[in-house]
Amino acid sequence: MQEHDERQLTDAELDAALRTWGAPAAPAGLRGKVLGGRERRSWWSWLAGGSIRVPVPVAVAVLLVVVAGLFAVARLRPRLVTRVEYREVAVPLSSISFQGLQPVDELRPRIIRRSHAHN
């Protein structure tokens, strides 16, 4: 190479040298670094472990839309209403015991005149 530095090469010599020169082989990991292996990943593997670069304004806008949507759904959803119904059930008086006694069927007043009062 020292010899080459000391004199001018002719075009023929340069052509000959160019024909004999071979480009060095690319590093083994260069392809993977440049392409990131994307062209070989399937959709399923991308869905499982892929990522998307999203600009911050877009992410914030999407987040706001989602929050607003949830709020609207919560407001539109019918509120939980508790309804209590009372039903009047006929119970025979004879089935209710008052220390072995039963209520009378009818209150029948007996008037005890003052002049006849006793006890």
Partner 1 sequence: MRTTSLVLLFVCGMAAFAADRRTGSLLVFNGTFGDAGVALHVDMVSEPPGYKEGPSGYTTEAGGIFHHYVVNDSRVAYFGYDVKMEQVPGTSKIRVLIEPLSLTAEKLNEMSARSADKPDFSRLRVLVLPKYPPPQIIEAGDTIALDLLVSPDGKQKVVDYLTFTLKK
Residues of the shown chain interacting with partner 1 in the complex, contacts defined by CB under 8 A = 89, 91, 93, 96-114, 117, 119
Hey, what are 26's tokens?
A: 């690319």
State which residue, 45 or 102, has the beta carbon closest to partner 1.
102
* Residue 56: closest CA among 45, 64, 46: 64
Name the minimum Å distance from CB 85 to partner 1: 16
Name the minimum Å distance from CB 95 to partner 1: 9
Cβ burial 41-66 (10 Å sphere, 16+ → b, else e): eeeeeeeeeeeeeeeeeeeeeeeeee
Cα separation, 58 vs 29, whole angstroms: 34
State which residue, 79 or 118, has the beta carbon closest to partner 1.
118
Name the minimum Å distance from CB 82 to partner 1: 18
State which residue, 82 or 119, has the beta carbon closest to partner 1.
119
Reported residue count of the chain is 119
State which residue, 22 or 92, has the beta carbon closest to partner 1.
92
Cα separation, 83 vs 74, whole angstroms: 21
